[in-house]
Amino acid sequence: MIPDELMSIAILLRHRNDIDARIADIVGRPVASGHLSDWIAAAIFDIELEPGANKAVDGRFRSGPLAGRTVNVKHYTRNQGLLDMTDAEELDYYLVMTGPRGAAAGSAGAHRHWSIDHVYLFDAQELYADLLDHMRRIGVATSLRVEQWRQAEIHPRAVKPLLRLSAEQTAALDQFRTGA
């Protein structure tokens, strides 16, 4: 006899697969966290995405003060103060979209909502040099100081923005807020 929980999971996964297929039809990419966040960032920030996978550069800004500059888009369900980084010289900016701040809840039964509560824009080369000056390890899960996150925030608060958001961009990001 098949347990009820197993049957429930099978049914829910069929629904999830249907939803993922609908999203993939819209974005033209597989529904993986990175692909989806790249597509959303491209739509909101006018980014021309690279046609193929590139470890360092996801695309280029098409308009505004950063037009022509390269960008690596990141999305984290929570801002835990960590950023996956590269030392690629061709990378100009990290555009980081996160859910709420703070440590993630324990994994037992916890669901991490996919949301965008904060957006940060880091000058990649400046950040890399600063981390080297402070003898920080750079790579996967690079730990950034709270002040670095605060200075890079462009949404919902803009401290010293490298990129000022329009009312339209702010409204679009607000659609992805936790609880929206």
Report how far apart, in Å, the C-alpha atoms of 144 and of each of 4, 81, 91, 140, 175 are: 45, 6, 18, 12, 27
CA distance 114 to 81: 17
The encoded tokens of residue 56 equal: 């360092």
CA gyration radius, the chain: 18
User: Residue 102 has what pLDDT?
Assistant: 73
According to CATH, the topology of domain 32-101+113-174 is Trna Endonuclease; Chain: A, domain 1 (3.40.1350)
The pLDDT value recorded for residue 142 is: 93
Rounded to the nearest integer, the mean pLDDT of the chain is 89
DSSP state for residue 140 in the 8-state scheme: T
pLDDT confidence of 32, banded at 50, 70, 90? confident
| Confidence tier at 146 by pLDDT (50, 70, 90) | very high
- The torsion angles phi and psi of 51, rounded to 5 degrees, stand at -70, -30
Please give the angle made by the CA atoms of 131, 137 and 140, to the nearest 5 degrees. 110
Per the structure block, which two tokens stand in for 40? 């959303």
| pLDDT digit string, tens, across residues 44-102 | 999 999 987 677 999 999 999 999 999 999 999 999 999 999 989 999 999 999 998 87
The pair of structure tokens assigned to 79 is 């801002």
Higher pLDDT, 27 or 45: 45
- pLDDT given at position 180: 64
At residue 154 the predicted structure's pLDDT band, cuts being 50, 70 and 90, is: very high
Q: Is the pLDDT of residue 23 over 70?
A: yes
Residue 159: per-residue pLDDT: 85
State how far the Cα of 18 lies from the Cα of 1, in Å rounded to an integer. Answer: 27
Task: Tell me what pLDDT residue 31 has.
Answer: 76
- pLDDT, tens only, 70-85: 999 999 999 999 999 9
Local structure of 25: helix, strand or coil: helix
Output the CA torsion sign for 53, 136, 117, 101: positive
Can you tell me the mean pLDDT for 1-24?
Answer: 87
User: Taking the domains of the chain in order of start, what are their residue ranges?
Assistant: 1-31, 32-101+113-174
